Amino acid sequence: MNTVKENLEILKFSYRFTKEQNIPVYAIFLFHAISEPLPAIFSVWFTAKITALISVQEPPHSVLVHAFIGVTLIFILTIIKRIGEHFYFKKIDILTVKEKAYVSDIISKKDYALLEKTDFQLLFKTYDEVASNYGCSVIRFYFMFLTKVMSGFIGLVLSLLIILPSLKTLFVFDNNTFITSWKPAVLTIICIILFGIIMGITGNRLANFWTKLHEETQSSYSMFMYWLSFTENYKQGKDIKVYRAQKLIQQEYDYWQEKSLKLTRKTIKKIIPLRRIIGIFTGLIVGTLYSYIALRAAIGLLSAENLVAIVGAVPLIINGITQLSNLPFLTKTLCKYVGYLKRIADYDSDRYMGTIPVEKRDDNDFLIEFKDVSFKYPNTDTYALKHVSMQFKIGEHLAFVGTNGSGKTTFIKLLCRLYDPTEGEILLNGINIQKYNMTEYMSLFSVVFQDFSLFAVPLSQNVSTSVEYDNKKLWRYLEKAGIANRVKEMPKQENTVLYKELDDNGVEISGGEAQKIAIARALYRNAPFVVLDEPTAALDPISEFEIYERFNDFTKDKTAIYISHRLSSCRFCDKIMVFDNGQIVQFGTHESLLSDENGKYNQLWNSQAKYYISKVE
Ligand code: ADP
């Protein structure tokens, strides 16, 4: 359970959240919390006043004038309440979208290496499961209950304040009869205190039930959503159809749905008696209160005005206490859930982000050096790279070859500072790359990873990775990447939306076309280092040949790294680096590497050449 200090931190965080999102929800929610109980409270006060006027036989026209003023004020207060409600509901719904946007914004700004840490992933998974249970927003529920509690508190205090003078008359005693003695008054006060305590306890128990239920159902609910997502994602439709996976998917989501429903039913079974107890106690307390008040009124100890005020205020007080009984749910459950979001936002990378600006050079005179670099991925014990030492000269075109899992992509990830070496250091122009401002340093690289992603936005925005783009530059690189003709055939050319997720008129593209667009994106960035990781894997032989042909041209004045399984496609590079089991085992030109008959390169080359020869034969 959160401490008071932690809950105050959450309150501060939620305030910071709304400030960052530029939504003045605090003012709006406070306005709603105050305006909500006002018409009812004023009605009670005003009815008592009118009763008083009638009791003292005020002339009818004076009563009418007072009634008119009162009704007008109630009308105005009701309008104010409605305005408060209107803005409240408008803002509360926006919170869901804002929270999603906030989460994706903070995640996209987090250090890449952090996203792979087990404790961060667990924290994010927990938050994600809770949020999906709460309609994708924990902040929304937090504010809803915070407003309920505030409104309950304000309503309770105001109701007590307006009936305070009337309440005083309940405490005038003579000791002639039991009813007029202090005893029933004390009994009634005890009843009210008991009611408050019972509501507090039941509110707490209800909060525990809901928290436990959500914790128990979280994993089955997210499994249910996982399986459900298959049926909703049209891109997976082919595999589902071909492998007749419908039954498997249905069985899985039926199973997980039933599991979470079972738990819900179990909890509801416990909650129903609790709700009954609350109902019975509320009835008993209200009954006792009304009986006591009625008896005092019957024997003339309570004026009509005070009777009306107290009888009218009782439901308001009960309602205030009921709203306040949401406090445990707010402070225990919702604060804990918003706490997950806060921890995600506050989770800082322990990596040094660097401060030195990267020198902007027209001649791209950059020298990279790996000095005895070794690397283990987070949460693993084995080295993906071992004692790698090498330098690349400016403008050099390098090819990385090696079997799967030999460490080629890992080398690129370290080069781009997605991770820092576990041992050793990487230098840029003699300075450890960790000392450079990370964002500036990263902008030196254009990388097409094997698992690149394109987005369901216009093609132009995919290439420029921005809403604005330079049309001439865009077409130049579409041309270079060999995709310009295909784009010219698209319904809206460069403005055509890719994929159908967000636009019915979006176009579906093949894997090879997507790869060419990703290459155009890398070129558009015009960074001094270009890295293509298996850029031709999804391309047909003709497109593959075109890419090789153009590679030297579009990386003319740049340092380029080309990773490929097809050794024949690496021959056009100046030097080839051979990776094996996390190490660079050979480095040189195609001819020199091939001439070492016992070397890995020769072995790889011959195994591929043999394959082609046997096919031709
Ligand atoms: P290559 O690009 O040569 O195919 P990688 O550099 O991708 O090889 O992988 C090198 C080794 O690191 C492999 O054993 C792979 O399983 C491991 N590896 C790659 N990515 C991760 C990761 N995110 N977490 C843990 N291990 C990884």
Mean pLDDT of 304-317: 88
pLDDT greater than 70 at residue 364: no
Which pLDDT score, from 0 to 100, does residue 393 have? 72
Task: Centre a 10 Å sphere on the Cβ of residue 75 and count the other Cβ atoms it contains.
Answer: 11
Which pLDDT score, from 0 to 100, does residue 296 have? 83
Structure tokens at 238: 């082919």
Q: Is 564 in the pocket of ligand 1 (CB under 6 A)?
A: no
Tell which phi-psi region holds residue 347, choosing left (phi > 0), alpha (psi between -120 and 50) or beta: beta
Q: Is 382 in the pocket of ligand 1 (CB under 6 A)?
A: no
Which pLDDT score, from 0 to 100, does residue 367 have? 84
Instruction: Enumerate residues 6+ apart whose C-beta is below 8 A from 190.
Output: none
Beta-strand pair 423-428/431-432 = antiparallel
Most confident of 320-324, 484-488, 563-567: 484-488
What is the rounded CA–CA span in Å between residue 252 and residue 24?
Answer: 43
Q: What backbone torsions phi and psi does residue 586 show, to the nearest 5 degrees?
A: -150, 150
Q: What is the pLDDT of residues 110-147, one digit of tens each?
A: 888 888 788 888 889 889 888 877 777 899 999 999 99
Task: Centre a 10 Å sphere on the Cβ of residue 553 and count the other Cβ atoms it contains.
Answer: 8
**Which atom, in ligand 1's list, is nearest to the CA of 582?**
10
Q: Is 404 in the pocket of ligand 1 (CB under 6 A)?
A: yes
Task: Centre a 10 Å sphere on the Cβ of residue 175 and count the other Cβ atoms it contains.
Answer: 9
Any idea what DSSP says for residue 434?
G
Which pLDDT score, from 0 to 100, does residue 617 have? 39
pLDDT greater than 60 at residue 485: yes
Mean pLDDT of 475-493: 90
Given pLDDT bands bounded at 50, 70 and 90, which one contains residue 616? very low
- Please, what's the b/e burial string for 425-462 (b: 16 or more CB within 10 A of its CB; e: otherwise)? ebebeeebbbebebeebbebbbbbbeebebeebbbbbb
Read off the pTM.
Answer: 0.72
Structure tokens at 390: 């090498």
Query: In the beta sheet, which residues pair with residue 356?
Result: 436
Round the average pLDDT of the chain to a whole number and report it: 85
pLDDT greater than 70 at residue 5: yes
What is the residue with the minimal CA distance to atom 24 of ligand 1? 377
Q: Is 482 in the pocket of ligand 1 (CB under 6 A)?
A: no
Q: Where are the alpha helices (DSSP H) in 421-483?
A: 438-442, 459-464, 471-480
Q: Is 24 in the pocket of ligand 1 (CB under 6 A)?
A: no
**Which atom, in ligand 1's list, is nearest to the CA of 116?**
23
Which pLDDT score, from 0 to 100, does residue 207 have? 82
CB 37 within 8 A of CB 365: no
The residue among 601, 550, 608 whose CA lies nearest residue 399 is 601
What is the residue with the minimal CA distance to atom 25 of ligand 1? 377
Beta-strand pair 423-428/583-588 = unpaired
Amino acid at 348: D
**Which atom, in ligand 1's list, is nearest to the CA of 411?**
6
Q: Is 401 in the pocket of ligand 1 (CB under 6 A)?
A: no
Beta-strand pair 575-580/445-448 = unpaired
SS3 content of the chain, % helix, strand, coil (to 5): 65, 10, 25
What is the residue with the minimal CA distance to atom 8 of ligand 1? 405
Place of tokens 């202090």: 182
Q: What is the pLDDT of residues 375-399, one digit of tens each?
A: 999 878 899 999 999 888 777 888 8
Beta-strand pair 431-432/583-588 = unpaired
pLDDT greater than 60 at residue 615: no
3-state secondary structure of 184: helix
3-state secondary structure of 110: coil
